[in-house]
Amino acid sequence: MKIEKTQFKDSDFFTAEDKYRTAKHFQRFVKNGFQRKDFNKRVYEHLHSHCGFIAHYDIDGFYQEYFNGSKSDLKRFAEHFLNFESMPYEDVYNGANVNYEPYKDISKCFADILIEFNIKKQVE
């Protein structure tokens, strides 16, 4: 899947350029099998700041929560994006009143990346 800069729009706290770079990093992370060395701060910050995930204390805690080798944990992570059309665009995880609509473009891209690398088969 080719990720284009033009598929993203600027939002108040996340420019189109930043969304593009984050998507490229996420694509590499998924492509390389969710290795810790490919899970960078840019992706981590997006996930807990714009996608409704809790931070799990820090980047290592987040990584351990979802990418520790457990299929059920990876499935829980992936389902957040694979149910893209019904994905809540307000923070249901933390009880906050946060609008994630400005990040819908990058969330759709994350979903497409997971589909491209057949994540459903990996978590069965």
Cα distance between residue 96 and residue 36, in whole Å: 29
The pTM score is 0.88
Q: What is the pLDDT of residue 98?
A: 60
Q: What is the pLDDT of residue 93?
A: 52
Collapsing DSSP states into helix, strand and coil, what is residue 50?
A: helix
pLDDT in tens, 63-104: 999 999 889 999 989 988 887 666 555 554 555 556 678 888
Structural contact between residues 51 and 34, judged by C-beta atoms closer than 8 angstroms: no
Domain boundaries, the chain: 14-122
